[in-house]
Structure 1
Amino acid sequence: MIGGNERATLLVTGPARSGKSEWAERLAHESERSVIYIATAREDPDDADWMARIDAHRRRRPAHWSTLCVPTELESAIATADRGDVCLLIDSLGTWVANLIELDDAAWQARSERLLTVLEQRPAALVILVAEETGWGVIPAYPSGRLFRDRLGGLVRRLGPRCAATYLVTGGHALDLRRLGVPLER
Protein backbone atom coordinates (compact mmCIF):
# COMPACT_ATOMS: atom_id res chain seq x y z
CA MET A 1 0.00 0.00 0.00
CA ILE A 2 1.08 3.55 -0.65
CA GLY A 3 1.81 5.50 2.49
CA GLY A 4 3.80 8.32 3.96
CA ASN A 5 4.32 11.35 1.76
CA GLU A 6 4.12 9.41 -1.51
CA ARG A 7 1.87 10.74 -4.26
CA ALA A 8 0.22 8.02 -6.29
CA THR A 9 -2.64 6.99 -8.48
CA LEU A 10 -4.13 3.52 -8.03
CA LEU A 11 -6.49 1.74 -10.42
CA VAL A 12 -9.02 -0.84 -9.22
CA THR A 13 -10.78 -2.73 -11.98
CA GLY A 14 -12.95 -5.78 -12.28
CA PRO A 15 -16.30 -7.11 -13.44
CA ALA A 16 -19.72 -6.23 -12.03
CA ARG A 17 -20.30 -7.25 -8.40
CA SER A 18 -16.67 -8.29 -7.99
CA GLY A 19 -15.97 -6.16 -4.92
CA LYS A 20 -13.87 -3.53 -6.68
CA SER A 21 -15.59 -0.64 -4.88
CA GLU A 22 -15.12 -2.34 -1.51
CA TRP A 23 -11.42 -2.91 -2.30
CA ALA A 24 -10.98 0.72 -3.32
CA GLU A 25 -12.71 1.84 -0.11
CA ARG A 26 -10.41 -0.40 1.91
CA LEU A 27 -7.35 1.12 0.21
CA ALA A 28 -8.69 4.62 0.93
CA HIS A 29 -9.30 3.74 4.58
CA GLU A 30 -5.86 2.15 4.97
CA SER A 31 -4.21 5.27 3.52
CA GLU A 32 -5.13 7.09 6.76
CA ARG A 33 -5.79 10.23 4.71
CA SER A 34 -8.87 12.41 4.60
CA VAL A 35 -11.07 10.91 1.88
CA ILE A 36 -13.11 12.71 -0.72
CA TYR A 37 -15.39 10.25 -2.48
CA ILE A 38 -16.22 11.39 -6.01
CA ALA A 39 -19.37 9.64 -7.21
CA THR A 40 -19.96 9.76 -10.96
CA ALA A 41 -23.44 8.22 -10.89
CA ARG A 42 -26.51 10.24 -11.76
CA GLU A 43 -29.43 9.60 -9.47
CA ASP A 44 -32.64 8.43 -11.15
CA PRO A 45 -35.57 8.23 -8.70
CA ASP A 46 -37.55 6.32 -11.36
CA ASP A 47 -35.03 3.46 -11.32
CA ALA A 48 -35.40 1.66 -7.98
CA ASP A 49 -32.59 -0.82 -8.67
CA TRP A 50 -30.13 1.96 -9.56
CA MET A 51 -31.07 3.96 -6.47
CA ALA A 52 -30.62 0.84 -4.29
CA ARG A 53 -27.10 0.39 -5.69
CA ILE A 54 -26.24 4.03 -4.98
CA ASP A 55 -27.68 3.71 -1.47
CA ALA A 56 -25.62 0.57 -0.79
CA HIS A 57 -22.45 2.51 -1.66
CA ARG A 58 -23.51 5.39 0.59
CA ARG A 59 -24.24 3.12 3.57
CA ARG A 60 -20.86 1.44 3.26
CA ARG A 61 -18.87 4.68 3.34
CA PRO A 62 -17.75 6.18 6.66
CA ALA A 63 -19.78 9.24 7.64
CA HIS A 64 -16.65 11.42 7.95
CA TRP A 65 -15.75 10.99 4.26
CA SER A 66 -16.72 13.92 2.07
CA THR A 67 -18.78 13.09 -1.01
CA LEU A 68 -18.97 14.98 -4.30
CA CYS A 69 -21.47 14.00 -6.98
CA VAL A 70 -19.72 14.64 -10.28
CA PRO A 71 -21.43 12.91 -13.22
CA THR A 72 -19.46 14.62 -16.01
CA GLU A 73 -16.94 17.24 -14.80
CA LEU A 74 -14.48 14.75 -13.31
CA GLU A 75 -11.39 16.54 -14.59
CA SER A 76 -12.39 19.78 -12.84
CA ALA A 77 -13.22 17.96 -9.61
CA ILE A 78 -9.78 16.34 -9.52
CA ALA A 79 -7.97 19.56 -10.45
CA THR A 80 -9.72 21.62 -7.77
CA ALA A 81 -9.65 19.04 -4.98
CA ASP A 82 -8.14 19.87 -1.63
CA ARG A 83 -4.41 20.16 -1.81
CA GLY A 84 -2.23 18.17 0.49
CA ASP A 85 -2.54 14.83 2.18
CA VAL A 86 -5.96 13.85 0.84
CA CYS A 87 -7.25 10.73 -0.92
CA LEU A 88 -9.66 11.06 -3.84
CA LEU A 89 -11.68 7.91 -4.42
CA ILE A 90 -13.41 8.05 -7.81
CA ASP A 91 -16.19 5.54 -8.34
CA SER A 92 -16.52 4.93 -11.24
CA LEU A 93 -14.89 5.60 -14.57
CA GLY A 94 -17.43 3.39 -16.34
CA THR A 95 -20.30 5.55 -15.17
CA TRP A 96 -18.37 8.68 -16.18
CA VAL A 97 -17.79 7.24 -19.66
CA ALA A 98 -21.48 6.32 -19.92
CA ASN A 99 -22.46 9.85 -18.91
CA LEU A 100 -20.35 11.19 -21.80
CA ILE A 101 -21.30 8.55 -24.40
CA GLU A 102 -23.02 11.16 -26.60
CA LEU A 103 -19.73 12.98 -27.27
CA ASP A 104 -18.33 12.61 -30.77
CA ASP A 105 -14.93 10.96 -31.14
CA ALA A 106 -12.94 14.22 -31.17
CA ALA A 107 -14.68 15.54 -28.05
CA TRP A 108 -14.22 12.18 -26.28
CA GLN A 109 -10.51 12.12 -27.13
CA ALA A 110 -10.12 15.65 -25.75
CA ARG A 111 -11.93 14.74 -22.51
CA SER A 112 -9.95 11.55 -21.96
CA GLU A 113 -6.66 13.37 -22.66
CA ARG A 114 -7.67 16.09 -20.19
CA LEU A 115 -8.41 13.43 -17.55
CA LEU A 116 -5.00 11.80 -18.04
CA THR A 117 -3.28 15.19 -17.83
CA VAL A 118 -5.10 16.29 -14.68
CA LEU A 119 -4.31 12.96 -13.01
CA GLU A 120 -0.61 13.57 -13.63
CA GLN A 121 -0.85 17.10 -12.20
CA ARG A 122 -3.37 16.36 -9.44
CA PRO A 123 -3.15 18.23 -6.17
CA ALA A 124 -4.25 15.24 -4.06
CA ALA A 125 -1.68 12.93 -2.51
CA LEU A 126 -3.57 9.78 -3.50
CA VAL A 127 -6.13 9.10 -6.21
CA ILE A 128 -7.95 5.76 -6.36
CA LEU A 129 -9.89 5.10 -9.56
CA VAL A 130 -12.54 2.40 -9.86
CA ALA A 131 -13.24 1.11 -13.36
CA GLU A 132 -15.39 -1.68 -14.70
CA GLU A 133 -13.90 -4.31 -16.97
CA THR A 134 -15.82 -4.66 -20.19
CA GLY A 135 -15.42 -6.92 -23.17
CA TRP A 136 -15.01 -10.23 -21.32
CA GLY A 137 -18.16 -11.59 -22.90
CA VAL A 138 -19.95 -11.30 -26.18
CA ILE A 139 -19.48 -8.30 -28.43
CA PRO A 140 -22.36 -5.90 -27.70
CA ALA A 141 -25.10 -6.11 -30.32
CA TYR A 142 -25.69 -2.35 -30.36
CA PRO A 143 -23.35 0.43 -31.53
CA SER A 144 -23.67 2.33 -28.24
CA GLY A 145 -22.62 -0.78 -26.30
CA ARG A 146 -19.58 -1.28 -28.50
CA LEU A 147 -18.69 2.40 -28.23
CA PHE A 148 -18.92 2.27 -24.42
CA ARG A 149 -16.82 -0.91 -24.26
CA ASP A 150 -14.16 0.51 -26.58
CA ARG A 151 -13.94 3.89 -24.84
CA LEU A 152 -13.77 2.48 -21.32
CA GLY A 153 -11.38 -0.31 -22.32
CA GLY A 154 -9.09 2.15 -24.08
CA LEU A 155 -9.11 4.54 -21.13
CA VAL A 156 -8.33 1.79 -18.62
CA ARG A 157 -5.53 0.48 -20.82
CA ARG A 158 -3.96 3.95 -20.96
CA LEU A 159 -4.36 4.47 -17.20
CA GLY A 160 -2.87 1.16 -16.04
CA PRO A 161 0.77 1.89 -16.93
CA ARG A 162 0.53 5.32 -15.29
CA CYS A 163 -0.62 3.96 -11.94
CA ALA A 164 1.53 2.91 -8.99
CA ALA A 165 -0.69 -0.17 -8.64
CA THR A 166 -3.39 -1.69 -10.80
CA TYR A 167 -5.67 -4.13 -9.01
CA LEU A 168 -7.94 -6.65 -10.68
CA VAL A 169 -10.71 -7.70 -8.32
CA THR A 170 -12.41 -10.97 -9.24
CA GLY A 171 -13.34 -14.27 -7.66
CA GLY A 172 -13.11 -12.79 -4.17
CA HIS A 173 -9.49 -11.69 -4.60
CA ALA A 174 -7.65 -8.48 -5.41
CA LEU A 175 -4.62 -9.07 -7.61
CA ASP A 176 -1.92 -6.43 -8.03
CA LEU A 177 -1.33 -6.62 -11.77
CA ARG A 178 1.71 -4.36 -11.57
CA ARG A 179 3.46 -7.04 -9.46
CA LEU A 180 2.09 -10.10 -11.24
CA GLY A 181 1.71 -8.98 -14.82
CA VAL A 182 3.92 -8.21 -17.76
CA PRO A 183 3.25 -4.75 -19.25
CA LEU A 184 2.26 -4.52 -22.90
CA GLU A 185 3.90 -2.15 -25.32
CA ARG A 186 1.87 1.02 -25.82
Structure 2
Amino acid sequence: MNQIILVTGPARSGKSEWAEALAIQSHKSVVYIATATHDSDDQEWQQRIQRHQQRRPQDWTTLEVPMQLSATLAQMQPNTCVLVDSLGTWVANLLSQEEAMWENTMQELLETVQLVAADMIFVAEETGWGIVPAYPMGRTFRDRLGGLVRYLGSICEPVYLVTGGHVLNLSLLGSLLPVGE
Protein backbone atom coordinates (compact mmCIF):
# COMPACT_ATOMS: atom_id res chain seq x y z
CA MET A 1 0.00 0.00 0.00
CA ASN A 2 1.25 3.46 -0.81
CA GLN A 3 2.02 6.07 1.78
CA ILE A 4 0.72 9.64 1.40
CA ILE A 5 2.53 12.22 3.53
CA LEU A 6 1.85 15.93 4.01
CA VAL A 7 4.55 18.31 5.23
CA THR A 8 3.29 21.79 6.04
CA GLY A 9 4.58 24.88 7.78
CA PRO A 10 5.46 28.54 7.38
CA ALA A 11 7.95 30.03 4.93
CA ARG A 12 11.62 29.11 5.44
CA SER A 13 10.71 26.60 8.16
CA GLY A 14 12.57 23.61 6.67
CA LYS A 15 9.55 21.80 5.22
CA SER A 16 11.29 21.03 1.94
CA GLU A 17 14.37 19.70 3.71
CA TRP A 18 12.21 17.46 5.91
CA ALA A 19 10.27 16.20 2.88
CA GLU A 20 13.57 15.48 1.10
CA ALA A 21 14.82 13.53 4.13
CA LEU A 22 11.61 11.48 4.12
CA ALA A 23 12.05 10.76 0.40
CA ILE A 24 15.61 9.56 1.02
CA GLN A 25 14.39 7.36 3.90
CA SER A 26 11.90 5.68 1.55
CA HIS A 27 14.83 3.91 -0.20
CA LYS A 28 12.85 4.15 -3.43
CA SER A 29 13.50 5.84 -6.72
CA VAL A 30 12.50 9.49 -6.17
CA VAL A 31 10.61 11.66 -8.63
CA TYR A 32 10.73 15.31 -7.57
CA ILE A 33 7.85 17.36 -8.96
CA ALA A 34 8.67 21.06 -8.96
CA THR A 35 5.59 23.23 -9.34
CA ALA A 36 7.59 26.44 -9.75
CA THR A 37 8.35 27.95 -13.12
CA HIS A 38 11.61 29.61 -14.08
CA ASP A 39 11.56 33.39 -14.45
CA SER A 40 14.88 34.63 -15.77
CA ASP A 41 13.88 38.22 -14.89
CA ASP A 42 13.62 37.37 -11.19
CA GLN A 43 17.13 36.68 -9.87
CA GLU A 44 16.01 36.06 -6.28
CA TRP A 45 13.50 33.44 -7.47
CA GLN A 46 16.20 31.79 -9.60
CA GLN A 47 18.48 31.61 -6.53
CA ARG A 48 15.73 29.91 -4.52
CA ILE A 49 15.22 27.33 -7.26
CA GLN A 50 18.99 26.74 -7.47
CA ARG A 51 19.23 26.14 -3.70
CA HIS A 52 16.54 23.47 -3.97
CA GLN A 53 18.25 21.89 -6.99
CA GLN A 54 21.67 21.79 -5.31
CA ARG A 55 20.24 20.03 -2.25
CA ARG A 56 18.66 17.20 -4.19
CA PRO A 57 20.57 13.98 -4.91
CA GLN A 58 21.75 13.64 -8.51
CA ASP A 59 19.89 10.37 -9.06
CA TRP A 60 16.46 11.93 -8.46
CA THR A 61 14.30 12.56 -11.50
CA THR A 62 12.99 16.12 -11.60
CA LEU A 63 9.81 17.08 -13.44
CA GLU A 64 8.62 20.67 -13.77
CA VAL A 65 4.84 20.55 -13.46
CA PRO A 66 3.34 24.00 -12.88
CA MET A 67 -0.28 22.99 -13.58
CA GLN A 68 -0.96 19.39 -14.70
CA LEU A 69 -0.28 17.80 -11.31
CA SER A 70 -3.08 15.19 -11.34
CA ALA A 71 -2.19 13.91 -14.81
CA THR A 72 1.49 13.68 -13.84
CA LEU A 73 0.79 11.84 -10.58
CA ALA A 74 -1.46 9.37 -12.40
CA GLN A 75 1.58 8.24 -14.44
CA MET A 76 3.79 7.42 -11.42
CA GLN A 77 5.00 3.86 -10.99
CA PRO A 78 4.37 1.84 -7.78
CA ASN A 79 8.01 1.49 -6.76
CA THR A 80 8.68 5.23 -6.59
CA CYS A 81 8.48 8.00 -4.05
CA VAL A 82 7.05 11.21 -5.48
CA LEU A 83 7.88 14.49 -3.76
CA VAL A 84 5.66 17.45 -4.77
CA ASP A 85 7.15 20.82 -3.83
CA SER A 86 5.00 22.85 -3.41
CA LEU A 87 1.23 22.98 -3.32
CA GLY A 88 1.24 26.72 -2.61
CA THR A 89 3.04 27.41 -5.86
CA TRP A 90 0.70 25.03 -7.71
CA VAL A 91 -2.35 26.83 -6.29
CA ALA A 92 -0.83 30.20 -7.26
CA ASN A 93 -0.30 28.93 -10.81
CA LEU A 94 -4.02 28.14 -11.03
CA LEU A 95 -5.45 31.28 -9.42
CA SER A 96 -7.01 32.42 -12.70
CA GLN A 97 -9.40 29.45 -12.62
CA GLU A 98 -13.02 30.27 -11.82
CA GLU A 99 -14.20 28.83 -8.50
CA ALA A 100 -16.13 25.90 -10.04
CA MET A 101 -13.13 24.96 -12.19
CA TRP A 102 -10.84 25.15 -9.15
CA GLU A 103 -13.17 22.87 -7.18
CA ASN A 104 -13.00 20.33 -10.03
CA THR A 105 -9.21 20.62 -10.22
CA MET A 106 -8.84 20.11 -6.46
CA GLN A 107 -11.27 17.17 -6.44
CA GLU A 108 -9.40 15.56 -9.34
CA LEU A 109 -6.13 15.87 -7.42
CA LEU A 110 -7.61 14.37 -4.24
CA GLU A 111 -9.08 11.44 -6.18
CA THR A 112 -5.87 10.84 -8.12
CA VAL A 113 -3.77 10.85 -4.95
CA GLN A 114 -5.87 8.03 -3.54
CA LEU A 115 -5.52 5.92 -6.71
CA VAL A 116 -1.77 6.23 -7.34
CA ALA A 117 0.29 3.28 -6.15
CA ALA A 118 3.49 5.31 -5.58
CA ASP A 119 4.41 6.83 -2.23
CA MET A 120 3.77 10.57 -2.25
CA ILE A 121 5.09 13.43 -0.14
CA PHE A 122 3.43 16.84 -0.50
CA VAL A 123 4.96 20.09 0.70
CA ALA A 124 2.46 22.86 1.46
CA GLU A 125 2.82 26.32 2.91
CA GLU A 126 0.61 27.38 5.80
CA THR A 127 -1.33 30.57 5.17
CA GLY A 128 -3.91 32.49 7.11
CA TRP A 129 -2.18 32.51 10.50
CA GLY A 130 -2.03 36.29 10.36
CA ILE A 131 -4.03 39.10 8.89
CA VAL A 132 -6.70 38.66 6.23
CA PRO A 133 -5.24 39.77 2.87
CA ALA A 134 -6.53 43.19 1.82
CA TYR A 135 -7.05 42.21 -1.80
CA PRO A 136 -9.37 39.59 -3.35
CA MET A 137 -6.64 37.54 -5.10
CA GLY A 138 -4.76 37.17 -1.80
CA ARG A 139 -7.90 35.97 -0.03
CA THR A 140 -8.64 33.53 -2.86
CA PHE A 141 -5.10 32.11 -2.63
CA ARG A 142 -5.29 31.78 1.15
CA ASP A 143 -8.70 30.11 1.08
CA ARG A 144 -7.86 27.72 -1.76
CA LEU A 145 -4.56 26.61 -0.28
CA GLY A 146 -6.04 26.31 3.21
CA GLY A 147 -8.92 24.19 1.93
CA LEU A 148 -6.64 21.99 -0.16
CA VAL A 149 -4.29 21.38 2.79
CA ARG A 150 -7.23 20.48 5.02
CA TYR A 151 -8.74 18.04 2.51
CA LEU A 152 -5.36 16.50 1.68
CA GLY A 153 -4.52 16.28 5.39
CA SER A 154 -7.60 14.13 5.90
CA ILE A 155 -6.21 11.43 3.57
CA CYS A 156 -2.51 11.71 4.48
CA GLU A 157 -0.75 9.66 7.11
CA PRO A 158 1.34 11.11 8.60
CA VAL A 159 0.90 14.88 8.51
CA TYR A 160 3.90 16.89 9.71
CA LEU A 161 4.13 20.51 10.80
CA VAL A 162 7.60 22.03 10.51
CA THR A 163 8.00 25.23 12.52
CA GLY A 164 10.45 26.88 14.88
CA GLY A 165 13.17 24.41 13.93
CA HIS A 166 11.07 21.41 14.97
CA VAL A 167 9.14 18.72 13.16
CA LEU A 168 5.84 17.77 14.76
CA ASN A 169 3.90 14.69 13.73
CA LEU A 170 0.36 16.04 13.84
CA SER A 171 -1.07 12.60 13.17
CA LEU A 172 0.25 11.46 16.55
CA LEU A 173 -0.35 14.68 18.47
CA GLY A 174 -3.73 15.77 17.21
CA SER A 175 -7.19 14.66 16.23
CA LEU A 176 -8.55 14.77 12.71
CA LEU A 177 -11.44 17.18 12.21
CA PRO A 178 -14.24 16.21 9.87
CA VAL A 179 -13.72 17.71 6.40
CA GLY A 180 -16.06 20.59 5.67
CA GLU A 181 -16.38 24.28 6.25
Quickly name the TM-score band, shorter chain normalised. Answer: over 0.9
Superposed counterparts of 1:10-25, under 5 Å: 10-25=5-20
The TM-score with structure 2 as length reference comes to: 0.97
The secondary structure found in structure 2 opposite 1:49 is helix
- Structure 1 gaps, min length 5: 1-5
Alignment RMSD (CA, Å): 0.7
Structure 2 residue 154 is the aligned partner of structure 1 residue 137: no
TM superposition shift of 1:161? 1.4
Partner Cα distance (1:185, 1:86) in 2? 30
Contact persistence 1:80–1:123 (CA under 8 A): no
User: 1:62: Cα distance to partner?
Assistant: 0.3
C-alpha offsets along residues 141-182 of structure 1, whole Å, 9 cap, x if unaligned? Answer: 110000000000000000111011000000001101000012
Counterpart in the other structure of 2:83: 89
- The total of aligned residue pairs comes to 179
Aligned partner of 1:32 in structure 2 is 27
Aligned to 1:177: 170
Identity %: 55
Letter in 2 for 1:62: P
Q: Secondary structure at the match of 1:162?
A: coil
Deviations for 1:70-101, whole angstroms, at most 9, x for unmatched residues? 000000110012x2210000000000000000
**When the two structures are superposed, what TM-score results if normalisation uses the length of structure 1?**
0.95
CA deviation map 1:115-161 (0-9, x unaligned):
0000000131x100000000011111110000000000000000111
Which residues in structure 2 correspond to 1:63-82 (within 5 Å)? 63-81=58-76
- Contact 2:7 2:160 (8 Å CA) reproduced: yes
Q: 1:46 aligns to what SS in structure 2?
A: coil
1:106 counterpart residue number: 100
Separation of aligned partners in 1, 2:103 and 2:154: 18
